[in-house]
Amino acid sequence: MPVVTKKYQVTIPKEVRNALGIKAGDEVVFVRQGDSYVLMKFEDLLQEFTEIMKDIDEAVEETRQGLARGIERTLKEPEGEK
């Protein structure tokens, strides 16, 4: 079981390093999830953010296109049908 040193350092167990693909020199982050923290490689966190941003960009584009179609239909409707 890892122990926190006086300098607040902890050795990451080999099993955990292997599971996360952590090598010497890698940057790691502690990500809060509810009342806990999860250890992640920094590059994995960046990849997750990149995927989230792609999803957001796609949702914004779909919304923009839907609004444009709605505006276009509204503008094409004869006056009495609005």
Q: Write the pLDDT tens digit of every residue in 34-44.
A: 999 999 999 99
Whole-number mean pLDDT of the chain?
A: 90
Single pTM value for the model = 0.56
Q: Write the pLDDT tens digit of every residue in 42-71.
A: 999 999 888 889 889 889 989 999 998 888
Stronger pLDDT, 69 or 5, i.e. the higher one: 5
DSSP state of 81: G
Q: How confident is the model at residue 81 (pLDDT cuts 50, 70, 90)?
A: low
Where along the chain do its domains lie?
44-81
CA dihedral of residues 12, 17, 20, 25 (deg, nearest 10): 90
